[in-house]
Structure 1
């Protein structure tokens, strides 16, 4: 089985329905039963319902040990699919919503990473994210929190949320603060917004990678620029199909990005919501896009070469491919 690596997954969005129920019960948290379609599935029909469902489920992660459990559970599932490295987006804003401190939030995730390494040999790192539709002031506050509280497992900074809200320029201060402090950054762009969202992010922010970026396929000049500049794309085919961007994986332009010479990676985004996993993403890509074992190994190498972790760890991971 090909070794795998993942760069784009939201930690709070990895908790399965069973784990969400378990944490709600342990914490005495109110849980809206309508967020479940079945024992193993979340219920939502469009992107906005997905965000609402996600927020309600994430609100059951209330303690440091909950974060340890969610992290460990996800890394264990990844390790069983022969994944050797995962960069997880973590959200201090979600933790703050339930009254958890940033340090407890981080310590819980770090404990999960340490436990999973010990038990499975998988490595994990953290990319702290701000939420775009919360605005620039909140984003800058998160960036200041990260830079004033360094942690060895925090290797980067990113931004998710509603692309239609605000302009990348508005977040320049937060991203440049992180860059000045030595962190690499990524931004969700070109998922629901068009190619102009990617262009605006590249112009305004010191980003090293692009989260999603799939709608660059609609702009040949931009596609060529991304290939020429070797800007890594955190592509998430299963997510894009589940949220209605494309009718099917067959219609997804993943192969076109490869053929254009872009630096592509495969990612699960929010796996239990989209009925996928990093292993499923590799398996489906091989089947639908006609990828060879060599192609898949190169995708893993792309991810590890584009990872935000330190060079020593990166070299060790690459040697395992």
Structure 2
């Protein structure tokens, strides 16, 4: 499945790191990592309750603390693009909150500009995915900070690699009032940015409905629990809101007991646009290609269905038309190949821009 062209729309900046990279950065900066990011890897989480989320957040914060300057930030962007390219991603929208890295580089503006500059540079490499950026506000901070980030994102809005293409809202969805972030999303919308908040993973369908009302999303990060209320799912489908479904993280956090319980089939049968995502490979130990393997192995989705998922990922993306057209043609070619030729495809393609 590494040769199937894909767009990757749900990948967090810190969470994209290679485990070897976070270990090297920790050593370089004299920091201690939790055992589950050292020898006992990947981490395991007991349940999607406060304790499970706290453990996840503790690991994420420990990894983020290892990012101490421009060189570290550039390395993360570059490696994310190369790793995605190696498994067939043509287009990557990486999500970053520049607030987290601002103290080390002189503010949120230079923090974002470093990410954008490296995204543009690495996108020129034929073996890398083209990288655009989603600026994400945190639900754990004041909504006024989200407005500041939305204005910053708007100043760098564009099309293509090395630009900001979306605005999101992340972190524990049980915190904060989604409606209070609506103004930030309106600022982003006026700049032409995609609205891509998280909702419907740790909380159920009512949280999805509230997010639809407050942010007018183009996509929802996760959104899987919209299936718990047929009326909410009907709203999602009717509004054409794509869902960034991340089966590996859903299972790791205990939202669902196993991969087969993730409601991927139910969402597809309802007519939802689904784009598979890896979320935080560093923490959850699974990458984008693993999500396609889950779709195949746990949900019985055949090659035609996998190709349809890949097409949906581009339909939901902000990829430029030339990237989208090239990828769709390559997906059609992949779907027309005999299945045995793909049985052992473990090496990523070099693809034209």
> How high is the TM-score relative to the length of structure 1?
0.92
Q: How far does residue 149 in structure 1 lie from its aligned partner after superposition?
A: 4.8
Show the 5 A alignment for 1:153-302: 153-302=163-312
Match of 2:18 in 1: 16
Higher relative contact order (CA 8 A, sep 6+): 2
User: How far apart, CA to CA, are the structure 1 residues paired with 2:20 and 2:239?
Assistant: 43
Q: How far does residue 291 in structure 1 lie from its aligned partner after superposition?
A: 0.9
Match of 2:54 in 1: 48
Show the 5 A alignment for 1:301-316: 301-316=311-326
Q: How far does residue 22 in structure 1 lie from its aligned partner after superposition?
A: 1.4
Question: 1:187, 1:209 within 8 Å by CA — same for their partners in 2?
Answer: yes
Match of 1:31 in 2: 32
User: How far apart, CA to CA, are the structure 2 residues paired with 1:124 and 1:190?
Assistant: 26
User: How far apart, CA to CA, are the structure 2 residues paired with 1:287 and 1:60?
Assistant: 36
User: How far apart, CA to CA, are the structure 1 residues paired with 2:118 and 2:105?
Assistant: 20
- SS of aligned partner of 1:174: helix
1:266–1:150 distance in 2 versus 1, CA, 3 Å: closer
User: How far apart, CA to CA, are the structure 2 residues paired with 1:40 and 1:116?
Assistant: 30
- SS of aligned partner of 1:265: strand
User: How far apart, CA to CA, are the structure 2 residues paired with 1:100 and 1:12?
Assistant: 19
Q: How far does residue 319 in structure 1 lie from its aligned partner after superposition?
A: 3.4
Q: How far does residue 257 in structure 1 lie from its aligned partner after superposition?
A: 0.7
Aligned residues: 320
Q: How far does residue 39 in structure 1 lie from its aligned partner after superposition?
A: 6.6
Q: How far does residue 36 in structure 1 lie from its aligned partner after superposition?
A: 2.5
Question: 1:63, 1:100 within 8 Å by CA — same for their partners in 2?
Answer: no
Matched, 1:65 2:66: no
User: How far apart, CA to CA, are the structure 2 residues paired with 1:249 and 1:43?
Assistant: 15
Match of 2:139 in 1: 132
Note the alpha carbon deviations across 1:286-319, whole angstroms, 9 max, x for none: 1111111111111111111111234444334333
User: How far apart, CA to CA, are the structure 2 residues paired with 1:119 and 1:308?
Assistant: 20
The root-mean-square deviation of aligned C-alpha atoms, in Å, is 2.0
User: How far apart, CA to CA, are the structure 2 residues paired with 1:113 and 1:65?
Assistant: 15
Q: How far does residue 121 in structure 1 lie from its aligned partner after superposition?
A: 4.5
Which 10-residue stretch deviates more, 116-125 or 175-184?
A: 116-125
* Structure 1: 5+ residue stretches without partners: none
> Which of 74, 79, 82 is the aligned partner of 2:80?
74
1:168–1:303 distance in 2 versus 1, CA, 3 Å: same
1:100–1:40 distance in 2 versus 1, CA, 3 Å: farther
User: How far apart, CA to CA, are the structure 2 residues paired with 1:285 and 1:21?
Assistant: 31
Question: 2:122, 2:128 within 8 Å by CA — same for their partners in 1?
Answer: no
> Which of 99, 111, 122 is the aligned partner of 1:93?
99
Matched, 1:5 2:7: yes
Match of 1:108 in 2: 114
Note the alpha carbon deviations across 1:202-225, whole angstroms, 9 max, x for none: 111121111100111110111222
Question: 1:140, 1:174 within 8 Å by CA — same for their partners in 2?
Answer: yes
